[in-house]
Amino acid sequence: EAASVATAVRLNSMCGRSRMALPPESVARAARASRWFDRESFTPCPNMCPGRRSPVLYLDKDGERTLHTMAFGLVPSYHKPGAKLDHFALMNARSETVGSKPAFQRLVHSKRCVVPIQGFFEWLKDAHGRRQPYYVYRQPSEAATLVKHEAGESLLWLAALYDAWGDEGEPRLYSYTILTVDAAPDIMWLHDRMPVILSTDDAIERWLDVKRVPAADALRTCVPHTGLSSHAVHPRMGRVSYQHDDACAQYEPMRITAFFTATPGGPERAVGGPGATSDVAETKVGGDVIKSEPSIPEPSAATVVGKPGEPATGAGVDALVTMGFSQRDAAEALDKARGSCERAIEILTSAAVDRAGLLGASQSPRHAALRTTCTLKRKATPSRTSSEPTRRSPSSKTKGGGRTQKRSPARGSVSVASPLTTGRAGTLHRYLTTRSDDIRPH
């Protein structure tokens, strides 16, 4: 039955990522704890995931508020010695059934705790199957009854259960699981579950007091919390190795329309042009100032195409890097596209504009210049005469009359083996011809 509990938690889990980047001194003051066990094991973490350690608040046997650094993701005390540790299996517990499940029933009576975090991350899948992460937090401007630390930010105090496990004669591993409840209406669009947030000092005390408050009464504090704020963050924070302060910074996905005029006769809004800034932007998230990346410089035919024989550099590469490609892959993609076909830039540009529906009067002067340049290059290419030998391609073969005949591909077609249809360049080309909304890495 314990295995079935782990499976159920996996299917209904959420709040697998959180943020706790405060220094230890701030955490201790916010928790008003008299002691902190294993304090040296805590490292401020902007992108907390199961297995990492964070501070947990509980009442010791004398009723004193105590902090203890524990691992996120419960490892129960009955875990078999020598077996592989899985912090993901029991990272969450449903508050509605926690009192009846063997894995949690004994803990809800004697080992209740509270986990302070600054916010948590959740993912939303769009119509194309892509997952966009969001950061959920509480604004510091809420009512004064909310628990806040000295900097003025409203922390989220999550109801949790903890346990200790360890082989005989070895140090014990302390770990915890976060309780969840049905999501509040204001974040139901993001996920159907949310962590149990204890928003007042009275709720925190009732949950922590395992001696005087029965489990049934403590579970009544597990209700959906409203008034949370959220915004999209960069998909790169999905990597658990990404531990930077801007993991929770607000992010606006780049759209292909940013490179062209949005409406016929409308104002030109070139990326990196008038009205844009190259300075680092600053965003306030719950009292903290998070720095985001600078805007992209304006691409042009010179910086995108480059000179033959030279590696691709400039705004074209910068734009691809912002989309998620590495510097090397971006330069290689543009080099292959430029070297394999004179019409590569025309194909990429035309596909992007056609898919975005920005033709005719709505195209910007920058796009018009690119199309004119590519058209001139195409006209300057000499056409094949009848006296010229036919170029044979091994990719186009037909059989007739018992012998194999090779036919030259049609004028303007792209060979299957061309770098424009393979590798990173092919990925970019296929993406622009099938996607017209967001520019994101393949």
Structure tokens at 212: 């005087």
Each residue of 427-439: pLDDT tens digit? 666 666 554 444 4
15 carries an active-site annotation: yes
At 225, is the pLDDT very low, low, confident or very high (cuts 50, 70, 90)? very high
Query: DSSP per residue over 392-440, as a string?
Result: P-TT-EEEETTEEEE-PPPTT---TTSTTTSHHHHHHHHHHHH--SB--
Each residue of 190-213: pLDDT tens digit? 999 999 999 899 999 999 999 999
Residues 6+ apart with CB under 8 A from 289: 282, 283
Residue range 135-140: mean pLDDT, rounded = 88
Residue range 19-26: mean pLDDT, rounded = 94
Most confident by average pLDDT, 10-19, 103-112, 332-341, 367-376: 103-112
Count how many Cα atoms sit within 13 Å of the Cα of residue 353 in the half-sphere of its side chain: 23
Each residue of 377-396: pLDDT tens digit? 555 555 444 444 545 544 44
Identify the H or E element spanning 235. none
Residue of 45, 49, 113, 122 with catalytic role: 122
> What does pLDDT average to over the chain?
73
412: how many CB neighbours lie within 10 A of its CB?
9
Residues above pLDDT 70, as percent of the chain: 55
Of 7-11, 66-70, 254-258, least confident by mean pLDDT is: 7-11
Is the pLDDT assigned to residue 218 strictly greater than 90?
yes
374 carries an active-site annotation: no
> Pick the residue with more confidence: 348 or 124?
124
Task: Specify the pLDDT at position 419.
Answer: 46
Task: Specify the pLDDT at position 358.
Answer: 46
Each residue of 289-334: pLDDT tens digit? 555 544 444 444 333 444 444 555 566 677 777 777 777 777 777 7
Q: What is the pTM of this model?
A: 0.59
Task: Specify the pLDDT at position 265.
Answer: 46
Is the pLDDT assigned to residue 275 strictly greater than 50?
no
